[in-house]
Structure 1
């Protein structure tokens, strides 16, 4: 009897060991399959591929429309009429996630795309800079990028867009809006914040656009005038906005006839379901809406869009259609308010820039434009500068 029980016990133990080993085999195998699938998927795409950065490239006719029954003649016509160069500030360690997502979605729809980063890599789409990767150096990176575009591409493009590597842009909607403007006028466009400058500044994350004339003034009447603009340190979007105002560039923050914005400083989730970040109530010149009425039908941008969401938005926008529904292009005429925005009303709650007073923003503009903005340097930035030895920057 004892021997019989012992045999049963040994059989059960052996069976359990075999079963556990089989489960482990399945788990390891499934993990290997997923990793191999992921590597295989990545191997099908080469970053900075297809030569989409070449200005003559027509993104409307690339492989992304394969298998779709669509009529894109109007989009093609506007794309040929309005030429936009885009640059994205980033870091080399974002190549395989954020930058890959940008490059495989909206980035290839720009007429020229530049990824601005601290790197030894070279390529037609890369603007390498020898500037430390730090939030405090974004102003410097942006200045280098705008100066590079001014030196090499000023007369090749009509408008110049700056975006973050977690910004999503609907380029066709952007070009449609820009088709209403003349690039020879000084235009600065985006999601307008009202703080720290006479007419505020555009959110960098929502992206902002400069016309050819605005870029020209930014460099000639801003960067090249000693003491007029901060060339390093501070917040990139704020310092660029202040410099543009000093260079006499006009601010535009497009809103449609329903009061819905086109540029958005946070991601689509916040506008649809919330919660809405509290800073928007304090900073936004135009109040943000929530829910179905949050965003213009011809929305242009969202910030804080991580790669998975970027792919999802791109798929839903460009690969899915609803049968029986089409855009009424005639009714969309006159959708946006196209006028430049004046200074915010004096009764709006605002903050002054370090070393300035709010009353200066509403008095003599000529005097304010002469102020030296380079004297306000934080201790963090001073420590960063002290760590630097030599630096070569090609613009």
Structure 2
């Protein structure tokens, strides 16, 4: 029982940090010039239409949360940042999660995106649904993700600054993400998340922790990646690995935000694992920055957690956005320079790493131009070939 109590207390403490950040910043910010604090109304972009048919369909404007009525909050600085940093989000999911995981996302962090798309195999239509004719299977996530990024490139490239990919059990603190992104230029090729070290020269970002592409990174992914025959794997494999490899081949720079205390902002497991433990063993061998458990686990301006089911998602959202601790405020001056913003270099040669099938680790430390010319990204194992042959005989049920 004590461990559950500790978990609850830790989450309350974390929520105070975020809310205090929003209330204290307005009078002390020197790096962000606020000239207009009136809210933009994003016409039709954040309406959640897929809950029509007997359900309440909440409609929100970006950063305009009616549930804040009665709360003593000052969100002017968060609104100002939100006005200048536009983020489009997409979530790969399945239709059978509409009333479960997606309802939780839709009623919590998803409404804080400037645009959100749920990518699923379905015949349904809606402003927030991107239907695909791709079978629901873990082996098809690469295809779904490629389809979504290509759709965003074709339709929204110049409407948004950054593009976020998340799972349907990812939780995002959007204000913290936008604060971090305000330090970057969307015209630079930026790829950001929780970096895993295997399978590519500079590894790849965990898909579950979510990852973010700048406008220029998305442009290069499609034009220098997907559209170049043989350069990137277009189906099969692990989605986050294949996307990371393709981005590296498209000459996109990798970033994995860590604060000056060595605490990460993106997290590939759930909040409970980081706050209370235990931590899954695989993260110790995959993460470029080893995970920590306890008070030192997570950046004060944490951005994401993975493996967040609907109940935990509602709990996190309530603690972060509905509860404050009287008398506590945050020092914005101390937040200056919080994050290390530099591009990541290749992992050290003495780090134990795994090579992608058909490659050798030594290739990753040779001339990167030579590696980018290789076509081994489209390597397909015999087992996967057999699986694809079986799938050809199935029908997609939607």
TM-score by length of 2: 0.84
1:292 partner SS: coil
Change (3 A) 1:44 1:318: farther
Deviations 1:65-111 (A, max 9, x none): 12111000010000001000000000011111101000000000000
Structure 1 counterpart of 2:67: 64
Deviations 1:15-60 (A, max 9, x none): xxxxxxxxxxxxxxxxxxxxxxxxxxx999947x3444xxxx33x2
Structure 2 counterpart of 1:146: 149
Cα RMSD for the two superposed structures: 1.9
Structure 1 residue corresponding to 2:226, chosen from 216, 223, 228: 223
Where structure 1 has 5 or more consecutive residues not aligned to the other structure, the ranges are 1-41
Q: How does 1:64-213 map to 2 (within 5 A)?
A: 64-213=67-216
Deviations 1:353-378 (A, max 9, x none): 10000110000111111111354213
Change (3 A) 1:251 1:391: farther
Note if 1:279 corresponds to 2:293: no
Count matched residues: 345
Bigger share in helix: 1
Taking the aligned partners of 1:375 and 1:209, their CA distance within structure 2 comes to 23
Q: How does 1:22-37 map to 2 (within 5 A)?
A: none
Q: Is the 8 A contact 2:141 2:238 kept in 1?
A: yes
Structure 1 counterpart of 2:3: none
Q: Is the 8 A contact 2:245 2:377 kept in 1?
A: no
Change (3 A) 1:356 1:282: same
Q: What displacement does 1:380 show? A: 4.4
Structure 2 counterpart of 1:388: 392
Structure 2 counterpart of 1:330: 333
Q: Is the 8 A contact 1:193 1:285 kept in 2?
A: yes
2:89 partner SS: strand
Taking the aligned partners of 2:133 and 2:395, their CA distance within structure 1 comes to 6
Change (3 A) 1:375 1:169: closer
Which protein, 1 or 2, shows the higher relative CO under an 8 Å CA cutoff with sep ≥ 6?
A: 2
Taking the aligned partners of 1:108 and 1:231, their CA distance within structure 2 comes to 30
Deviations 1:280-328 (A, max 9, x none): 1111101111101100000000000010000000000000000001121
Structure 1 residue corresponding to 2:308, chosen from 296, 301, 305: 305
Change (3 A) 1:43 1:129: closer
Taking the aligned partners of 1:145 and 1:380, their CA distance within structure 2 comes to 27
Structure 1 counterpart of 2:238: 235
Q: How does 1:363-374 map to 2 (within 5 A)?
A: 363-374=366-377
Structure 2 counterpart of 1:318: 321
Answer with 1 or 2: which has the greater Rg: 1
Where structure 2 has 5 or more consecutive residues not aligned to the other structure, the ranges are 1-50
Note if 1:358 corresponds to 2:335: no
Q: Is the 8 A contact 1:131 1:391 kept in 2?
A: no
Q: What displacement does 1:383 show? A: 3.5
Structure 2 counterpart of 1:15: none
2:117 partner SS: strand
Taking the aligned partners of 1:156 and 1:202, their CA distance within structure 2 comes to 24
Q: Is the 8 A contact 2:231 2:378 kept in 1?
A: no
TM-score by length of 1: 0.84
Taking the aligned partners of 1:171 and 1:178, their CA distance within structure 2 comes to 10
Deviations 1:170-213 (A, max 9, x none): 00000000000000000000000000100000000000000000
Change (3 A) 1:384 1:123: farther
